[in-house]
Amino acid sequence: MVAIVTDVHYRMSLALIRDLAQAGVEVITCEQDRCRDSRTSPALGALSRYVSRHVWLPGGTDGLEALLSLCRETGLGRDCRPALLPAGAATLALIAENRERFEPLCGLCVPTAEQLDLLNSKPRLAGLAARLGVPLPESMAPGEDLDRFLDRQGLPCVIKPACGEKLGLTAAARYAAGNGFDSFTTSLLISPYQNHGAIAAAAREMGEKYGVEFLYRDFRPLFQEGQQFAREHGFYMQKYCGCIFSEEDRYMAAKRKKKARAREDGVNEHG
């Protein structure tokens, strides 16, 4: 089986490429030519060791025709059509609009253009959810003060941190202070791979700023127990964050261990 993954300048494409390859799927990637020498949007997925081939596509209408040609070419001489997996929203919309041209050439798991229009319209989607009785999460109104939002938002409350929010600790401290809690803590303290001291220091800073105690607990001794629990219950555990740098670190660490074992075996044989 073969899959074509588009828009590999998105970091999320790295995990998709890796998981497909580890499942025995041949992976071909493609990206617009404008990303070839880009420093802000490099085609990281094209550098993955799991990729059998990478193809650069022109932009605009030519890019659509080039992608169609790639799907047609990839399917030649194979027992099955390639699966086309767009990682970017613009390509997803393009494929949906030209669905009748792609369907004879490749397998698609792509919504229709009408479905995309619905999903991309928050008011329409919220209205549909209300009609179906599906509960919706509370959201901050544009320009709304965080304290005011926290006053009207009850428990349970899952806070998605924004960029610059100090790992979400700012929002957590403000919520704890605004809702009468004595203290707050963070699950980040369970990871042996995080900068434990920096997390605790940032949390104490936020606690002092908002007048609520940071409850420090070193959860790291529970890390292996948590991992075992996750395995026993079939929870997904990603082995790296998804960026090309952490993937390289993981790969190089395995290579270093392999070389070290080879050196030890050589010493033992000649010792």
Domain span at 98: 2-117
Q: Is the pLDDT of residue 163 over 50?
A: no
**In sequence order, what DSSP letters do the residues of 201-258 get, joined into one string?**
HHHHHHHHHHT-EE-----GGGHHHHHHHHHHTT----SS-SSHHHHHHHHHHHHHHH
Give the Cα separation of 121 and 140 in Å (integer): 17
H/E stretch holding 267: helix 244-270
Q: Write down the mean pLDDT value for the chain.
A: 82
Instruction: Count CB atoms within 10 A of the CB of residue 40.
Output: 6
Give the Cα separation of 232 and 89 in Å (integer): 35
Q: Is the distance from CB of 83 to CB of 3 less than 8 angstroms?
A: yes
Q: Is the pLDDT of residue 54 over 60?
A: yes
For the segment 126-146, the average pLDDT, to the nearest whole number, is 76
pLDDT of residue 164: 43
Looking at the chain, how many residues does it have? 271
What residue type is 123 in one-letter code? Answer: P
Q: Is the pLDDT of residue 63 over 70?
A: yes
Q: Whose CA is closest to 186, among 173, 178, 195, 174?
A: 173
CATH code: domain of residue 26: 3.40.50.20
Higher pLDDT pick, 53 / 248: 53
Residues 199 and 269 in one domain: no
For the segment 172-184, the average pLDDT, to the nearest whole number, is 83
Q: Is the pLDDT of residue 73 over 70?
A: yes
pLDDT category at 133 given cuts 50, 70, 90 is: confident
Is residue 164 left, alpha or beta, with left meaning phi > 0 and alpha meaning psi from -120 to 50? Answer: left
For the segment 116-127, the average pLDDT, to the nearest whole number, is 81
In a domain, 94, yes or no: yes
Higher pLDDT pick, 225 / 116: 225
What DSSP character marks residue 141? Answer: P
For the segment 142-154, the average pLDDT, to the nearest whole number, is 70
% of the chain with per-residue pLDDT over 90: 27
pLDDT category at 173 given cuts 50, 70, 90 is: confident
For the segment 156-168, the average pLDDT, to the nearest whole number, is 54
**In sequence order, what DSSP letters do the residues of 63-116 get, joined into one string?**
HHHHHHHHHHHHHTT-SSPPEEE--SHHHHHHHHHTHHHHTTTSEE----HHHH
Higher pLDDT pick, 220 / 134: 220
Q: Is the pLDDT of residue 52 over 90?
A: yes
Least confident of 44-48, 229-233, 242-246: 242-246
Residues 248 and 193 in one domain: no
Residues 155 and 69 in one domain: no
Residues 150 and 111 in one domain: no
- Looking from the CA of 59 toward its CB, the CA atoms found within 13 Å total 4
Q: How many helices (H) and strands (E) does the chain have?
A: 11, 7
Q: Whose CA is closest to 216, among 231, 226, 206?
A: 206
Higher pLDDT pick, 75 / 256: 75
Residues 39 and 91 in one domain: yes
> What is the model's pTM?
0.53
pLDDT of residue 124: 85
In a domain, 90, yes or no: yes
pLDDT of residue 250: 63
Neighbouring-strand partners of residue 158: none
In a domain, 236, yes or no: no
Residues 248 and 168 in one domain: no
In a domain, 234, yes or no: no
For the segment 240-245, the average pLDDT, to the nearest whole number, is 54
Residues 20 and 105 in one domain: yes
Domain count along the chain: 3
Give the pair of three-digit tokens for residue 126: 């919220």
